Amino acid sequence: MVALHDSALRYLRLRAQQLISGNFYKPDAVVSAVCGLQAQDAQAAILSARVRSSGLTVGDMEQAMLHDRSIIRTWAMRGTLHLIATEDLSWLLALLGPFFAAADRRRRLQLGLDDATAAAGVQLIREALGARGSLTRAELREALTEHGIEAAGQGVIHLIALAALQGLICLGPDRGNKPTYLLLADWAEAAVRPSPFSREDARDELTRGYLAAFGPASPEDFAAWSGLPMADVRAAWKRLDSHHELLELETSQGAAWMLKSRGDWLDLQQGDSPSVHLLPAFDTFWMGYRSRELIVSPAYAKRINAGGGILHPALLVDGHAEGTWKIIRRKNQIEVAVTPFESLPAEIRPGLKAEAADVGRFLGSPSVLRGVDQ
């Protein structure tokens, strides 16, 4: 069994996440390569595509999402919002939708939405969107109330998520600063075609995709990222192993696996210069593993994960968090303001300046780096 030092493990994961080798020019290719991008914050998700691609702009991402519709924003892994490549959505929803819809049943009951009421609510949402096109959450709540379904508080969003997990609706273009929802079949017909996989094959395909995007990793990591039960995860691992698709490695965190087809990555050498990345808030890189100790030192973990599900933008150096950052918009430029956890070595500065410049390029605005010595 090959033994990996932590630095080598980080390097392999950066490559898998397209943070080193990402040369994609198509938005949907970037999204598909990493099995979707975490997207409760849509603008942060768009910035996640920047750091994994070459030459893309925010306009390219908006074109893909709003006009080409090759990327869909909806509920997927862990029952949370993601950007998903349209070509992957039908089989992902067939695999994940029933599981997360059932998993959310207890919360729906707490909100006064029994099975019959929830089914009626989903039907009303479907009819309202069919008649009126895209609607905001408030407008959907009004439509439900008009027909006798009280979805106060969080009730309406749980019904919306249920409809999305059933493959009926997805998020559409924002109206001002409010998200809208629309019928998936009307927005992207390709997303509602039948799944090409059986459930077992879809589960295995997701496992392969996960290992391609996050490996080396463990079954427990995959369970944490996907939200699937360990019984499913172990079955998928066993199937891939029986087909000789997995390569087992020894790490400081225990056994980890990568796809055997990428075994030649073990012979690659890290570059002489540090790899520097400005990851946006909620970046999918944080979601891929049961433990984040390899990514951020415990002393600074709360500077990234502030609690309440908030994950701040992070300065990543060779796969390890070394600070936070934010975008400050000025009249004629943007400032990329970096707050290091500790003093940054001089050799990091060129890569950091290049990243700050690329954030500006992506957003179509001149940028200036603040917070570190220039």
Domain range spanning residue 234? 2-10+204-267
Q: What is the pLDDT of residues 20-30, one digit of tens each?
A: 976 778 999 99
- Spatial CB neighbours of 146, under 8 Å, sequence gap ≥ 6: none
- Identify whether residues 104 and 125 lie together within a single domain: yes
pLDDT in tens, 280-313: 999 999 999 999 999 999 999 999 998 888 999 9
Helix axes 155-165, 137-146, angle to 10 degrees: 100
Helix axes 219-226, 230-242, angle to 10 degrees: 130
Q: Are residues 214 and 263 in the same domain?
A: yes
Dihedral (Cα; 74, 76, 77, 83), 10-degree rounding: -40
pLDDT by 10s per residue, the chain, length 374: 788 999 999 999 999 999 997 677 899 999 999 999 999 999 999 999 999 998 999 999 999 999 999 999 999 999 999 999 999 999 999 999 999 999 999 999 999 999 999 999 999 999 999 999 999 999 999 999 999 998 878 999 999 999 999 999 999 999 999 999 999 999 999 899 999 999 999 999 999 999 999 999 999 999 999 999 999 999 999 999 999 999 999 999 999 999 999 999 999 877 778 999 999 999 999 999 999 999 999 999 999 998 888 999 999 999 999 999 999 999 899 999 999 999 999 999 999 999 999 999 999 999 999 988 65
Residues 243, 363 share a domain: no
* Domain shared by 113 and 167, yes or no: yes
Domain boundary among 131, 159, 192: 192
Distance (Å, whole) CA 305 – CA 308:
8
Distance, in Å, from the CA atom of 317 to the CA atom of 123, rounded to the nearest integer, reads 49
Q: Are residues 70 and 211 in the same domain?
A: no
Q: Is 308 helix (H, G, I), strand (E, B) or coil?
A: coil
CATH of the domain at 82: 1.10.10.10
The answer to whether position 273 is within a domain reads no
Please indicate, yes or no, if residue 274 is contained in any of the structural domains: no
Q: Is residue 284 part of a domain?
A: no
Gap between the Cα atoms of 21 and 236, Å rounded: 27
Which residue in 336, 341, 276 sits closest to 304, CA to CA?
A: 341
The reply to whether omega before 366 is within 30° of 0 (cis) is no
Q: Is 276 inside a domain boundary?
A: no
Q: Is residue 29 part of a domain?
A: yes
Question: Is residue 230 situated within a structural domain?
Answer: yes
Residues 36 and 184 in one domain: yes
Q: What number of CA atoms fall less than 13 Å from residue 38's CA on the CB side?
A: 17
Q: Are residues 213 and 176 in the same domain?
A: no
Per-chain mean pLDDT for the chain: 95
Judging by beta carbons within 10 Å of its beta carbon (0-12, 13-18, 19+), is residue 157 exposed, middle or buried?
middle
Based on the fold, state whether residues 208 and 253 are members of the same structural domain: yes
Instruction: Identify the bridge partners of residue 74 per DSSP, sorted by sequence position.
Output: 82
Q: Which of 138, 171, 192 is the last residue of a domain?
A: 192
* Domain co-membership, 174 together with 323: no
* One domain for residues 102 and 118: yes
- Are 209 and 329 within one domain? no
Query: Is there a domain that residue 31 lies in?
Result: yes
Residue 30 lies in a domain: yes
Q: What is the pTM of this model?
A: 0.95
DSSP state of 178: B
pLDDT attached to residue 1: 76
Residues 167 and 306 in one domain: no
Residue at a domain's end among 247, 267, 287 = 267
Number of domains in the chain: 3
Q: Which amino acid is at 19?
A: L
Helices (H), 188-313: 199-214, 219-226, 230-242, 301-304
Q: Which residue, 159, 183, 162, is CA-closest to 171?
A: 183
Among the listed residues 166, 312, 283, 286, the one whose alpha carbon sits nearest the alpha carbon of residue 225: 286
